[in-house]
């Protein structure tokens, strides 16, 4: 039973006459909406996997073409671009997604919010791109590598393009239509793979700086292609929509930006942390005795090969976050408390179910995976990458769950809690990065990142529990225990198999079934929750086979 003391600030719901029903009733009554919620998440997840595979195909040859120093230059530019991109495009698309979902749930017109969002995003994108190009000289000097200046000129147009892309995606996600977002993600990565690698190869004879600039031009080209696709999709789908006025009042504009402001404050903090890294880490390494080229190369190893692997499962888990905001916002505005709780719990459980085994796998198989993906790196560089990957592997769980909790808070109109948690974490990270990196090298930067993720995770976790009264400590503890068991099995494979390819392949074939079987055996996800997932019937049959002593009450 959903108790009043654990309420989602129940005054938000009681005005609409919310009924305190059990979770099982919510599953039965809201099956169609929840199925659409998980179908959207699954679609984004599949597209994320495809996009990340393309991204891996991009990063691996790019690292081999540019080398450690070139990747360091590339990764110096990218966090600054991400910061300006977030400053220009954050908050408004998520607010648009939330408002579109809420207005549609109430049967009210919503397209006017898209119109005002696109006007605002065009302005912020133009301003952001112009400032990035104008400050290119100064930023490159602050970072300790003036050669990155041309890279900022190459990528500045992408700030406007990404802003407009975010607006279209916000509209479609608010309508719970995840296909355009999924396809545009794949287009981005495919074009970046072709154009970025091609231009880097073409310009490599002119030097590392020219090759890096070519790769960054490929990024701008990829965003242009994704925007063209989304614009055409909007025109095609627009022909099927009922006519709506695009005129909006001052009050509606205030509603949009009041929703966007706290979301933007939260969203900008992670890119801001990446920007601080790009300024602090290279300079701290130089203060610790490294020369400029070596410092840039070490930063490139952490931010390039290592973070690329860490981000693969994180992006997969973030497919949930994309769907969470509009889906839970619709439940909130229609006073569906049980819908909010069910979607929230399932999202959190899935984040752990994906994150924990991925983190354990990277910790065990780091020495086998990295040489396969980055053969151009020296033995010394590979050894450093292995240590960095093992230190940062826990980031997969911490960052993924932090993002899920942040998205839940945004959907519940409590974005301020997420922003405060992230702000505190970034202050801690900046101080530790400066201190640890100077004295223990780039490993210190990895440790600072881990501590930041843990700090932010604790903040949003505590905030969400206070608001919703959701306690999953037993489930999380079992998840971690199963991750340790899976890791021990992986260590056995690692010790017996000498060939890297066979070790990684056999590791996947052994570790994944063990973790899945144990997760079902211990009931980390219930039978009803499995029914909400894609391929729910097959998963429920598997659940019944593993937990054979339980009776299936379905008729």
Read off the pLDDT of residues 425-452 as tens digits, 9 standing for 90 and up: 999 998 999 899 988 989 999 999 999 9
Res. 2 pLDDT band, cuts 50 70 90: very low
- Which residue did the predictor score with more confidence, 7 or 526? 526
- Which residue did the predictor score with more confidence, 340 or 4? 340
- Greatest Cα pair distance, the chain, in angstroms, is 71
The predicted-structure confidence for 66-99, as pLDDT tens digits, reads as follows 887 788 888 888 878 888 887 788 778 877 887 8
Q: What is the pLDDT of residue 365?
A: 94
Res. 160 pLDDT band, cuts 50 70 90: very high
Mean pLDDT of 327-335: 64
Instruction: Look at residue 369 and give its three-state secondary structure.
Output: helix
Report whether pLDDT(56) > 90. no
- Which residue did the predictor score with more confidence, 269 or 514? 514
Q: What is the pLDDT of residue 255?
A: 74
CA angle 104, 106, 108 (to 5 degrees): 65
In the chain, % of residues over pLDDT 90: 27
Task: Please name the residues in contact with 143: beta carbons below 8 A apart, sequence gap of 6 or more.
Answer: 76, 80, 278, 279, 282, 283
Contact (CB, 8 A) for 348 and 405: yes
In the chain, % of residues over pLDDT 70: 83
> Does some domain include residue 477?
no
Sign of CA dihedral 247, 251, 255, 261: positive
Q: What is the pLDDT of residue 488?
A: 95
> Does some domain include residue 149?
yes
Q: What is the pLDDT of residue 552?
A: 58
Q: What is the pLDDT of residue 10?
A: 34
Give whole-number Cα distances, 516 to 159, 235, 366, in Å.
41, 43, 21
Q: Is residue 80 exposed (0-12), middle (13-18) or buried (19+ Cβ within 10 Å)?
A: buried
User: Rg for the chain (alpha carbons), in Å?
Assistant: 23
Half-sphere exposure of 537 (CA within 13 A, CB side): 0
> Does some domain include residue 491?
no
> Does some domain include residue 222?
yes
Quickly count: other Cβ atoms within 10 Å of residue 139's Cβ: 21
Contact (CB, 8 A) for 169 and 230: yes
Tokens of 202: 């073409």
CB under 8 Å, gap of 24 or more: what pairs does 132-137 form? 132/80, 132/81, 132/84, 132/156, 132/159
The predicted-structure confidence for 94-151, as pLDDT tens digits, reads as follows 778 878 877 777 777 778 888 888 998 999 999 999 999 998 888 888 877 778 888 8
Contact (CB, 8 A) for 417 and 266: no
- Which residue did the predictor score with more confidence, 11 or 279? 279
Q: Which residue is listed with tokens 């990565």?
A: 189
> Does some domain include residue 93?
yes
Res. 19 pLDDT band, cuts 50 70 90: very low
Element (H, E) at 385: helix 379-392
Distance of CA 76 to the CA centre of its chain: 20
Tokens of 77: 């530019």
> Does some domain include residue 476?
no
Cα separation, 514 vs 520, in Å, equals: 10
Q: What is the pLDDT of residue 486?
A: 95
The predicted-structure confidence for 481-540, as pLDDT tens digits, reads as follows 999 999 999 999 998 998 999 999 999 999 999 999 999 999 888 887 777 666 667 888
- Which residue did the predictor score with more confidence, 41 or 339? 339
Mean pLDDT of 312-337: 66
Q: How many domains does the chain have?
A: 1
Quickly count: other Cβ atoms within 10 Å of residue 500's Cβ: 15
Domain range for 368 = 4-471
Strand residues in 248-361 grouped as ranges (E): none
- Which residue did the predictor score with more confidence, 25 or 520? 520
Q: What is the pLDDT of residue 164?
A: 94
- Which residue did the predictor score with more confidence, 291 or 164? 164
Q: What is the pLDDT of residue 29?
A: 38
> Does some domain include residue 495?
no
Question: Could you please report the per-residue DSSP string of 440-468?
Answer: HTHHHHHHHHHHHHHHHHHHHHHHHHHHH
Q: Is residue 237 exposed (0-12), middle (13-18) or buried (19+ Cβ within 10 Å)?
A: middle
Report whether pLDDT(260) > 90. no
Res. 237 pLDDT band, cuts 50 70 90: confident
Q: What is the pLDDT of residue 15?
A: 35
Give the orientation angle of helix 111-134 with respect to helix 157-174, to 10 degrees: 160
Top-ranked range on mean pLDDT: pick from 19-28, 269-278, 306-315, 482-491: 482-491
Task: Please name the residues in contact with 423: beta carbons below 8 A apart, sequence gap of 6 or more.
Answer: 269
Q: Is residue 220 exposed (0-12), middle (13-18) or buried (19+ Cβ within 10 Å)?
A: buried
Mean pLDDT of 266-290: 80
> Does some domain include residue 554?
no
């Amino acid at each position: 039973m959903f108790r009043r003391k654990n309420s989602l600030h129940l005054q938000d719901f009681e005005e609409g006459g919310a009924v305190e029903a059990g979770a099982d009733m919510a599953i039965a009554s809201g099956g169609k909406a929840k199925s659409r919620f998980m179908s959207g998440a699954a679609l984004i997840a599949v597209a994320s996997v495809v996009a990340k595979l393309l991204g891996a195909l991009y990063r691996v040859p790019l690292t081999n073409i540019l080398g450690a120093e070139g990747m360091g230059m590339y990764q110096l530019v990218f966090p600054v671009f991400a910061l300006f991109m977030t400053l220009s495009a954050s908050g408004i698309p998520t607010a648009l997604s939330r408002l579109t979902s809420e207005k549609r749930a109430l049967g009210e017109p919503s397209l006017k919010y898209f119109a005002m969002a696109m006007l605002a995003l065009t302005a912020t994108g133009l301003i952001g791109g112009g400032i990035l190009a104008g400050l290119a000289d100064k930023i490159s000097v602050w970072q300790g590598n003036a050669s990155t200046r041309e890279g900022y000129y190459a990528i500045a147009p992408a700030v406007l393009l990404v802003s407009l892309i975010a607006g279209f995606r916000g509209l479609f996600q608010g309508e719970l239509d995840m296909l355009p977002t999924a396809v545009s993600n794949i287009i981005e990565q495919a074009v970046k793979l072709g154009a970025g690698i091609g231009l880097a190869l073409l310009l490599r004879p002119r030097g590392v700086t020219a090759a890096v600039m070519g790769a960054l031009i490929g990024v701008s080209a990829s965003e242009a292609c994704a925007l063209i696709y989304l614009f055409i999709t909007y025109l095609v789908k627009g022909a099927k929509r009922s006519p709506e006025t695009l005129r909006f009042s001052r009050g509606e504009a205030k509603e949009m930006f009041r929703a966007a402001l706290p979301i933007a404050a939260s969203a900008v903090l992670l890119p801001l942390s990446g920007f601080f890294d790009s300024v602090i880490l290279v300079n701290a390494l130089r203060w610790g005795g490294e020369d400029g080229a070596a410092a840039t190369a070490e930063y490139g190893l952490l931010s390039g090969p290592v973070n690329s692997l860490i981000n693969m499962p994180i992006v997969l888990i973030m497919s949930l976050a994309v769907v969470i905001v509009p889906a839970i916002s619709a439940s909130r505005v229609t006073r569906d408390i049980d819908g909010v709780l069910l979607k929230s719990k399932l999202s959190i459980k899935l984040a752990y179910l994906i994150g924990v085994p991925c983190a354990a796998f990277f910790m065990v198989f780091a020495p086998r995976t990295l040489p396969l993906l980055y053969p151009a790196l020296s033995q010394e560089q590979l050894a450093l990458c292995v240590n960095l990957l093992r230190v940062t592997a826990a980031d997969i769980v911490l960052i993924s769950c932090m993002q899920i909790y942040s998205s839940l808070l945004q959907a519940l109109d409590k974005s301020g809690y997420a922003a405060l948690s992230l702000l505190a974490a970034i202050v801690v990270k900046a101080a530790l990065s400066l201190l640890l990196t100077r004295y223990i090298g780039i490993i210190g930067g990895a440790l600072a990142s881990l501590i930041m993720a843990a700090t932010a995770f604790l903040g949003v976790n505590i905030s969400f529990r206070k608001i919703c009264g959701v306690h999953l400590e037993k489930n999380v503890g079992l998840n971690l225990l199963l991750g340790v068991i899976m890791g021990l099995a992986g260590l056995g494979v690692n010790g017996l198999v000498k060939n890297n390819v066979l070790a990684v392949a056999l590791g996947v074939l052994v570790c994944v079934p063990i973790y899945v079987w144990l997760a079902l055996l211990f009931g980390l996800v219930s039978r009803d929750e499995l029914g909400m997932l894609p391929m729910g019937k097959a998963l429920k049959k598997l659940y019944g086979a593993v937990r054979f002593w339980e009776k299936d009450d379905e008729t």
